[in-house]
DNA sequence: AAAAAATGACTGACCAGTCAGTTATTTCTT
DNA sequence: AAGAAATAACTGACTGGTCAGTCATTTTTT
């Protein structure tokens, strides 16, 4: 009767011990706490004690879940970024709209996703600490940036095929189109108190500029 | 005969002691060393010993020139950013070219200035450490970003007046136009090894997109 | 009662900042 | 001009505090 069968069985019939659920919940709490602390002060200045306190546990407990500060940082980035990929793909269900309309929609959803509080903090952390965490930079590039460029490129291809957009030859068109959103996200974290970004208006300017720039 | 006249006098006739010259040179060397070390590892992880070694002096000497690690960091940002302002203004001598041509030129010069090795490192540091150094973020915003937006806006006004550009209403047009360059600078530092930016081509794409986007 | 989870005092490495002492440069004296 | 005295620049061992990571003990769960 070990393995907690009985009250440990969940709807799917698989035995999931109360222990494991709690462990998972605590791990998530620690990741949340880590995000807060790392966002506030950066990797090097963050204290494991503060992460522990933020999560309502003692420092020793943090080390039951993560081997080291670096591992905690990495786990945080991975955990918090995983949903972004799913969202991007989900929001991208191929529709039969025009490329113009799809690009407009895509940029709106990009802003919504990037300007999410957690996400832009992580983006800033990647830029700040990326050179010290090469595999995290690679992970972020592969899972988010590379994928995101692919989506934009596919819309552009459609638009070129349909005659809505002109064919542009140079490199980096997708990055160029996404740049406005990236800058908005960072700006909001670093300079917003000095010169606020009015996001809706900024977004519309961006969409307007890009769509006109691409028009055939 | 005090004040070191004679061999202490320089071409302008003003007495400049050997001491002061050397002191100024050493200060500059320390700022250079600081830039290297801070760029490599960020503010918190940088060691004053490393800065000293990089400059070829002992740690104590660093403290003869700068009161603290923070002050050194601030001095570095200020010293290294001062020339950027002058350059921007210089490169902006009002010409009688069309707004289209002026914007093209301006973007090229913006890329050239931003992608300067030192400068993009500092931009990255500001983004990474800005929230912890509010007055530095303010300094950077005022001296670089705000000013830069003004230059772009003035070209756009000319273009609207001359009928080259359409009038765009939303906020943040100047930021949007500069965004491509900002992203390029950061990309080159963090992701270039994963997906290189071919700068000339990227720049031309950007110019092309923006000019078409603005066209009346 | 046994096992698992959590604790927090502790250790050892690290590093910003100091300062008593050393070296280099300039000024004064003869 | 040559040495003596004064001043400025520099050094690096040291201190005090901090913090990642450990582990013997306590608490909670089963």
| Lowest mean pLDDT across A2-16, A114-128, B57-71 | A2-16
Check the CA dihedral A126-A130-A132-A133 and report its sign: positive
B50 CA, D4 C1': Å apart: 39
pLDDT digits (tens, 9 = 90+) for A117-156: 899 999 999 999 999 999 999 999 999 999 999 999 999 9
| Lowest mean pLDDT across B64-68, B90-94, B121-125 | B90-94
pLDDT band of residue B18 (cuts 50, 70, 90) is: low
Q: Do A130 and B168 touch (CB under 8 A)?
A: no
The CB-side HSE value for A81 (13 A sphere, CA atoms) comes to 24
Nearest CA in chain A to B178: A180
Report chain D positions within 7 A of protein CB atoms: 8-13, 18-24, 29-30
CB B31 within 8 A of CB B80: yes
DSSP helix/strand/coil, B9: strand
Please tell me the pTM assigned to this model: 0.88
pLDDT band of residue B13 (cuts 50, 70, 90) is: very low
pLDDT reading at B70 higher than 80: yes
The residue lying closest to nucleotide C4, measuring its CA against C1', is: A19
In the prediction, which pLDDT does A17 show?
61
Nearest CA in chain B to A213: B213
| Lowest mean pLDDT across B5-14, B33-42, B184-193 | B5-14
pLDDT digits (tens, 9 = 90+) for B141-164: 999 999 999 999 999 999 999 999
In the prediction, which pLDDT does A117 show?
83
CB of B135 within 8 Å of a chain A CB? The answer is no
What is the average per-residue pLDDT within B172-200?
Answer: 96
CB B99 within 8 A of CB B155: yes
pLDDT band of residue A9 (cuts 50, 70, 90) is: very low
pLDDT reading at B93 higher than 90: no
CB A176 within 8 A of CB B209: yes
Report chain C positions within 7 A of protein CB atoms: 4-9, 14-20, 25-28
In the prediction, which pLDDT does A182 show?
96
């Amino acid at each position: 009767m070990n393995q907690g069968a009985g009250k440990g069985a969940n709807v799917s019939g698989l035995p999931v011990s109360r222990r494991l659920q709690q462990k998972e919940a605590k791990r998530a709490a620690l990741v949340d706490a880590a995000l807060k602390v790392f966002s506030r002060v950066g990797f090097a200045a963050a204290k494991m004690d503060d992460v522990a306190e933020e999560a309502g546990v003692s420092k020793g407990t943090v080390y039951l879940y993560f081997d080291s500060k670096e591992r905690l940082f990495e786990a945080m980035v991975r955990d918090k970024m995983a949903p972004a990929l799913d969202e991007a793909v989900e929001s991208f269900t191929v529709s039969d709209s025009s490329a113009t309309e799809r690009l407009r929609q895509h940029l709106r959803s990009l802003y919504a996703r990037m300007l999410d509080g957690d996400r832009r903090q992580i983006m800033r952390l990647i830029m700040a600490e990326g050179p010290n965490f090469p595999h995290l930079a690679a992970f972020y590039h592969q899972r988010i940036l590379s994928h995101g460029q692919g989506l934009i490129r596919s819309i552009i291809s459609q638009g070129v095929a349909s005659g809505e957009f002109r064919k542009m030859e140079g490199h980096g068109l997708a990055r160029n189109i996404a740049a406005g959103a990236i800058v908005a996200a960072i700006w909001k974290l670093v300079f917003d108190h000095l010169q606020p970004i009015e996001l809706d208006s900024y977004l519309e300017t961006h969409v307007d500029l890009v769509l006109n720039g691409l028009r055939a």
